[in-house]
Amino acid sequence: MVVWEPPSRDYDFLFNEVFDAIGSIEGLGYDDFDADFLSMLIDGWGTHTKEVWLPINELGDKEGLGFKDGIITMPKEFKEAYRQGIEEGWMATSCKPEHGGMGVPTFFSAVTWAEYGTSACMALSVLPALSIGVYEVLTHHGRQDLIDYFASNLATGEWAGTMCLTEPHAGTDLGIISTKAEPQDDGTYRITGTKIFITYGEHDMTENIVHLILAKVPGGPEGTKGISLFLVPKYLPSEWEDGGLEGISRDLNPDHNGVTCSGAEEKMGLHASPTCVMNFDESVGWLVGPLHGGMPLMFEMMNRERVATGMMGLGLGEIAYQNALAWSLERRQGRDLKGIQDPGQTADNILVHPDVRRMLLEAKVNNEGSRALAVWAGILLDQMHSEEPEVSEAATALVALFTPIIKAHFTDLGCETASTCMQVMGGAGYCTEYGVEQFYRDVRISKIWEGTNGIQALDLAGRKITQDYGKNLRHLMWPLTQFIEENRDNHGMAEFNKPLYQGVKGLQQITLLMIAEGMANPHFLAAGATDYCRYFGNVLLGYMWAKMAKVCLQKKGEPFYDAKLASARFFFKRIFPETVSLAAKIQSGPKALMDYPVEMF
C-alpha cells in the first residue's frame, strides 16, 4: 500500500526560518494573512489531499476513463473528490475573494498546493491547475464582461479551463498553427480548427469547459506574431444571442458551441487525465488581450504552468522517496561489508549498503533542495506585483530566470528520482502493488509538456541570460555573491560556502563562454544548453542548501536541523561535483554532434 505524509514540517521551516515569507508580502494586499493562517492552510490541504485525493490515485490509474461517442466519462470517485474540494474551497486558493476565491498568496498555491496535489493524485491536480491558469489570463487581460461572466465560475472550480495550443503539425513550433478565427460584426469570432493532446479537453467533471485557444485571424502577420488568444466555451449561455455577455445568467444552452472531442489518447501514465483531440467548428469565441498579441499572453499562462510542472517533478519525487524509504526500512538482504549488523536476523537491513544509501539520499536531498528553491520562487511570484519598483523589478527578473530551470531541472530530477526509488525497491518497485511504478509512469510527461525540457534549456541559455543586457542574471548574482561574501569567515559554513563559491565562479565563466561562442556559432549555445541548465540548477540548489545550512548551524543538536546539515553535506560532496563534468561537456562545443554525418545515425 502506498504511504505518504505531506512534508508540512519542511514547509514550515522554509516559509518561516529560511525565508521570511510573511514579511516578504507586506504591502501586497494580504493584510490578514499571517503565519498561523499559513500553517492552518498547509495542514488543511495536507489532510484533504491525503484523505480525499490519495485514495483515488491508484483507482484512476487502473480504471482510467471512458470514451464513447465523443463523451468522456471520469471515474465517479474522481467526481466526488473534486466536488468535495470545491465545497471546501480548495480549488480557488489564489483567486480573488470577489470571485469566490480564498485570495491567499501565490507562494502557497503555486508551491505547497501544487506539490501536495501532485503527490496525492497528479491526474486530478492538473484539472484545477489549468482552470486557475485560464482564470489568471482572463482576469489580467480579458474584457470586463468576460471577467464578470467566466471568472467566478472558473475560480470556484464549477467550470474547468483548458489550454489549446498543439495541433497535429504544430507542437514546439506554434508559429505554424492553422486554426482560424474569423471576425464577426458583433465583435465575436468564429473559431475553426483541430487541436490535439488537450488535457481535460472533454470530461464530465464540470458543467462547462472554457477553452483558451491559440488561433490566427486571416490577413494577420506570419508566424507567432499573427497568433491571437480566444476564449471558447463548450456551452454558450442560454440567453446569449450575439456580442457581449453583460448581465447574462449562468444557465447554459444544451447545444454545444461547435466544440467536439473526436478522440482520447491511450498513454503511458496519467490514465485518469483525459488527453483529447478537440475539433472547433465555427465555435463562438471572444478575443482575450490584443489582436495578434496572443503569444505573450499564452507565455504568461505557460510560465505559471511551467512552475506548476516543475512542482510535478518534486511532488512525484517526494512520494516515490517516501515509499522507497518505507520499503527499505523493512527489507533485509546481504550483510554490511564491514561486519554483520544484525546477527539475530538472517540478513541485515538494506540501508547498510552504501549504494542503497546513495540512491535514497540523492532522492531526499534533491527533493528538499528543490522545495527550498520553489518556496523562493513562490515568494517572488507574489513580489512581482509589488508597488515598490525595485522589489517588483528584481522579482520579475528572477522569475524569468528561474522558470525554465524549475520546469526542466525539477522534472528531470523527478523522473530520475522515481526511477531511482524503483531501483531501491528492486523487483517490488517494478510491480504494480507498491505504487512506485505508477509514479514513474505519471511523472514522465512532465519533461515533455509545457515546452520540452530541451526548449526550456534553450530559453534559459538563448534568451533569459542575455535578456535586457544580462539583467536577470545580475539580480541573482547580487544576493548570491553577497551571501558567499558574508559567510567567508564563518568557519562552520566553510564546507558549504567554498564549493558554492567555486560553482558560482564556474557558472560565470561558462555563461561568458556560452554568450561569446554562441554569438559566433548558435550551435555552440544550443549544443550546451541542456548541460548549462543542469549546471545552473545545481548552483541554485547549492545556494538553497547553503542558506538552509546557515539556519541549521544555529540549532545544532535538534534532529530536524542535524538531518538538514547532513543533507547539505551530502549535496555538496555527492551531487554538486557533477557541475565539473557538465562544464567539460559544454566546453567541448557542438563539433562531435554536428559533424556526425546524418547517414551514420
Ligand X SMILES: Cc1cc2nc3c(=O)[nH]c(=O)nc-3n(C[C@H](O)[C@H](O)[C@H](O)COP(=O)(O)OP(=O)(O)OC[C@H]3O[C@@H](n4cnc5c(N)ncnc54)[C@H](O)[C@@H]3O)c2cc1C
Is residue 445 a contact point for ligand X (CB under 6 A)? yes
Neighbouring residues of 272: CB distance < 8 A, sequence distance ≥ 6: 59, 60, 61, 63, 64, 65, 74, 75, 78, 123, 124
Smallest gap from Cβ 152 to ligand X, in A, equals 23
Smallest gap from Cβ 369 to ligand X, in A, equals 26
The smaller minimum CB distance to ligand X, of residues 458 and 586, is found at 458
The smaller minimum CB distance to ligand X, of residues 214 and 548, is found at 214
- Given a contact cutoff of 8 angstroms between Cβ atoms, the answer to whether 384 and 397 are in contact is no
Per CB under 6 A, which of residues 327..356 are in contact with ligand X? none
Is residue 530 a contact point for ligand X (CB under 6 A)? no
Which position among 47, 172, 581, 588 is part of the footprint of ligand X (CB under 6 A)? 172
The smaller minimum CB distance to ligand X, of residues 42 and 445, is found at 445
Is residue 523 a contact point for ligand X (CB under 6 A)? no
Helix (H, G, I), strand (E, B) or coil at 148: helix
Smallest gap from Cβ 199 to ligand X, in A, equals 3
Helix (H, G, I), strand (E, B) or coil at 181: strand
| Nearest alpha-carbon partner for 29 in 386, 343, 276, 309 | 386
DSSP 341: S
Concatenate the DSSP letters of all residues of 511-543 into one string.
HHHHHHHHHH-HHHHHHHHHHHHHHHHHHHHHH
Is residue 455 a contact point for ligand X (CB under 6 A)? yes
Catalytic residue among 115, 305, 450, 517: 450
Which position among 153, 166, 279, 383 is part of the footprint of ligand X (CB under 6 A)? 166
Q: Give catalytic status of residue 58 as yes or no.
A: no
Q: Which region among 70-78, 407-415, 445-453, 513-521 touches ligand X (by CB under 6 A)? A: 445-453
The smaller minimum CB distance to ligand X, of residues 197 and 545, is found at 197
Number of Cα atoms under 13 Å in the Cβ half of residue 280: 34
Hey, which residues does 193 pair with through a beta bridge?
Answer: 280
Residue 184 corresponds to which amino acid? Q
Q: Which region among 80-88, 164-172, 308-316, 407-415 touches ligand X (by CB under 6 A)? A: 164-172
Phi, psi of 558 (to 5 degrees): -95, 135
Using the structure block, give the residue that is written with the C-alpha cell 504494480.
432
Query: What are the grid coordinates assigned to 115, written together?
Result: 506539490
Helix (H, G, I), strand (E, B) or coil at 288: strand
**CA angle, 105 then 108 then 111, to 5°:** 130
Residue 474 corresponds to which amino acid? R
Per CB under 6 A, which of residues 256..275 are in contact with ligand X? 267, 275
Report the first-to-last Cα separation within the chain, whole angstroms. 45
- Given a contact cutoff of 8 angstroms between Cβ atoms, the answer to whether 159 and 207 are in contact is yes
The smaller minimum CB distance to ligand X, of residues 317 and 451, is found at 451
Residue whose Cβ sits closest to ligand X: 171
Is residue 532 a contact point for ligand X (CB under 6 A)? no
Per CB under 6 A, which of residues 181..200 are in contact with ligand X? 197-199
The smaller minimum CB distance to ligand X, of residues 195 and 564, is found at 195
The smaller minimum CB distance to ligand X, of residues 283 and 396, is found at 283
Q: Which region among 163-171, 338-346, 394-402, 587-595 touches ligand X (by CB under 6 A)? A: 163-171
442-473 in b/e form (b: 16+ CB < 10 A) is bbbbbbebbbbbbbbbbbbbbebbbeeeebbb
Query: Mask: binding to ligand X, 388-427, rule CB under 6 A, as x and -?
Result: ----------------------------------------
DSSP 5: -
Which position among 449, 571, 572, 576 is part of the footprint of ligand X (CB under 6 A)? 449
Smallest gap from Cβ 217 to ligand X, in A, equals 19
The span from the CA of 271 to the CA of 252, in Å, is 30
Is residue 235 a contact point for ligand X (CB under 6 A)? no
Q: Which region among 146-154, 448-456, 461-469, 587-595 touches ligand X (by CB under 6 A)? A: 448-456
Phi, psi of 556 (to 5 degrees): -55, 145
Smallest gap from Cβ 62 to ligand X, in A, equals 18
- Given a contact cutoff of 8 angstroms between Cβ atoms, the answer to whether 7 and 371 are in contact is yes
Size, binding site for ligand X by CB under 6 A: 20
Is residue 454 a contact point for ligand X (CB under 6 A)? yes
The smaller minimum CB distance to ligand X, of residues 145 and 204, is found at 204
Binding residues (CB under 6 A) for ligand X: these are 162-166, 171-172, 197-199, 267, 275, 445, 448-449, 451-452, 454-455, 458
Active site residues: 450
